[in-house]
């Protein structure tokens, strides 16, 4: 699935990046001038409407929109580039390569264009060309983790597992704010089982590529819960600061004032990042001293991902399951750990009906 820049936000996923015009100057690829033409303004409007259609999954409308934008301005690298992303999302990798190539002819070095063309070439099995494009993407934007991640996929398809693991480790290092890259690499090796020791001669490389993408999401979830509930589960002000910096959207007032037994919700936010959408809620009991509860929930999670998040959680924080209580409609494992300021009781729950994974961090004695 494609990774995208919308007119107002950076929305994530995995493979291709969409860039919106957000103005006629970007549409022309030249500095803005006074008295921009109506045609240029129309281009930007049509282009960004097509981008919005793309983000909503309306691929046919997006394709028609980018076709119209190119008709207005056939010299726009951006329009060809983004139409290439639509073709990519529709699985037409030949058309995607053609549009990315045209974009690069008009604007050599266009951000993400080499990476996206490399991804399309990889899906066509043109692995040598794909690797060349992704090498160039890394050279042009060495800070972008996706270039290393996607190059890892190409290395897997070329049956070069050590190079793939190296690129994966670099991608995690670029994503992380901590020094978890080496540990993340080892967790991926463990997930891959015997593939590393037995070589790739008889291994399904598509499965390994899937596991690399899957493992990256696991690492992201572990980092996110560490940054939020584990670091600030006992501090509403700490979460508020994170919310302000991250521009998280406050939950509706009725949710914040909702009471459940002795506990009341005193802070809640929804937000999304490059890997998905989340709800973060902070509550405190009326006990003296209070028990603080911080929960982080994300949806569209599979049982496979839940199992690997559990394994990753135990490896990252050096804990073993405390117990596995029976909660109606949920699979739950509970742990005890410390965040440096006190003892934390953690419940990791999966709700199959909704595909929801929830971390609940308790500070106190629940």
Q: Provide the percentage of residues in the chain whose pLDDT is more than 70.
A: 79
In tens, the pLDDT along 254-299 reads 554 443 333 567 788 998 887 888 999 988 776 777 788 899 999 8
Q: Are 282 and 294 in contact (CB under 8 A)?
A: yes
Average pLDDT for 154-180: 83
pLDDT value, residue 280: 92
Query: What's this model's pTM, rounded to 2 decimal places?
Result: 0.72
In whole angstroms, give the CA distance from residue 244 to residue 234.
18
In whole angstroms, give the CA distance from residue 114 to residue 77.
13
Spell out the domains of the chain, with CATH numbers in brackets.
3-215 (1.25.40.10), 224-363 (3.30.310)
Region of 313 on the Ramachandran plot (φ > 0 left; ψ -120 to 50 alpha; else beta): alpha
**Those residues with Cβ within 8 angstroms of residue 227's Cβ, 6 or more apart along the chain or in another chain:** 177, 242
pLDDT value, residue 139: 96
Going by pLDDT thresholds of 50, 70 and 90, the confidence category of residue 239 is very high
Degrees, nearest 5: CA angle 286-245-147: 125
Q: Per residue in 104-125, is it b (16+ CB within 10 Å) or e — as a string?
A: bebbeebbbbbbbbbbbbbbee
Average model confidence (pLDDT) across the chain: 81
**Those residues with Cβ within 8 angstroms of residue 165's Cβ, 6 or more apart along the chain or in another chain:** 152, 185, 188, 189, 196
Closest CA to 364 of 294, 282, 289: 289
Whether 17 has a pLDDT exceeding 80, the answer reads no
């Amino acid at each position: 699935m494609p990774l995208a820049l919308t007119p107002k936000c950076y929305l994530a996923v995995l493979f291709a990046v969409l860039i919106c015009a957000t103005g006629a100057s970007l549409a022309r690829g030249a500095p803005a001038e006074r008295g921009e033409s109506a045609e240029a303004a129309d281009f930007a409007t049509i282009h960004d409407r097509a981008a919005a259609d793309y983000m909503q999954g309306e691929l046919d409308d997006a394709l028609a929109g980018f076709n119209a934008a190119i008709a207005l301005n056939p010299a726009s690298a951006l329009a060809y580039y983004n139409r290439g992303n639509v073709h990519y999302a529709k699985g037409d990798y030949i058309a995607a390569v053609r549009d990315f190539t045209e974009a690069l002819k008009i604007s050599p070095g266009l951000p993400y264009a080499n990476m996206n063309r490399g991804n399309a070439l990889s899906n066509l099995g043109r692995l040598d060309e794909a690797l060349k494009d992704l090498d160039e993407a890394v050279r042009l934007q060495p800070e972008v983790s996706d270039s290393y991640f996607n190059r890892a996929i190409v290395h897997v398809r070329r049956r070069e597992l050590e190079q793939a693991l190296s690129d994966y480790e670099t991608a995690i290092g670029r994503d992380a704010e901590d020094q978890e890259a080496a540990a993340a690499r080892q967790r991926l090796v463990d997930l891959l089982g015997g593939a590393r020791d037995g070589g790739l001669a008889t291994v399904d490389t598509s499965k390994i590529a899937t596991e690399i993408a899957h493992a990256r999401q696991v690492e992201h979830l572990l980092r996110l819960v560490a940054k939020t509930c584990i670091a600030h589960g006992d501090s509403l002000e700490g979460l508020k600061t994170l919310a302000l910096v991250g521009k998280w959207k406050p939950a509706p007032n009725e949710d914040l004032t909702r009471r459940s037994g002795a506990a009341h919700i005193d802070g809640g936010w929804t937000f999304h990042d490059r890997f998905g959408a989340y709800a973060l809620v902070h509550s405190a009991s009326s006990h003296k001293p209070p028990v603080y509860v911080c929960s982080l929930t994300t949806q569209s999670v599979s049982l496979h991902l839940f199992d690997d998040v559990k394994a990753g959680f135990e490896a990252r924080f050096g804990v073993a399951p405390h117990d596995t209580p029976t909660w109606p409609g949920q699979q739950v494992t509970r742990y005890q750990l410390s965040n440096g300021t006190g003892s934390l009781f953690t419940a990791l729950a999966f709700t199959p009906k909704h595909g929801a994974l929830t971390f609940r961090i308790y500070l106190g004695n629940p």
